[in-house]
Amino acid sequence: MQIIWENENFKIIKHNSKLPWVKLFTKTDYKELSHIPDNLKIEMFNIIEKVELCLIEIYNTDKVNIASFGNMLPHMHWHIIARFKNDPYFPKTTWEEPLREFNLNLPEFTKFRNCLNEKL
């Protein structure tokens, strides 16, 4: 688990994937979105937006997927994933079997991390 950014309320972790994929966690365990105080929800969605903007800027994405499930880990968190028309899963979800080999030439993750640190 590699934390790439954090503050007093949230942390962003790099997901183990060849795709640019991060997860945003609340530092306090909240089971559902409705359990999060309103001021933290505003902060959370601002962070999600900044992550999305950096994914678009650095990776020139075709789409950004944002998902929250919590079935396996009942702690409120978001998956934020850069998607490309030629990524192994597109147009399906990244939780399905790949349709093709990974053949993307992507910028280094450190560029994304730097963008994130500038925006946050």
Residue 1: pLDDT above 80?
no
Residue with tokens 């790099």: 14
Which sign, positive or negative, has the C-alpha torsion 115, 113, 12, 103?
Answer: positive
The pLDDT value recorded for residue 27 is 95
Distance between CA 71 and CA 60 in Å, rounded?
31
- Res. 89: pLDDT tops 90: yes
**pLDDT (tens digit per residue) in 12-59:** 999 999 999 999 999 999 999 999 999 999 999 999 999 999 999 999
Question: How does the average pLDDT of the chain come out, rounded?
Answer: 95
Angle, nearest 10°, between helix axes 38-59 and 109-119? 140
Q: Beta partners for 100?
A: none
- Angle formed at CA 53 by CA 47 and CA 55, multiple of 5 degrees: 105
Length of the chain: 120
Q: Provide the pLDDT for residue 109.
A: 96
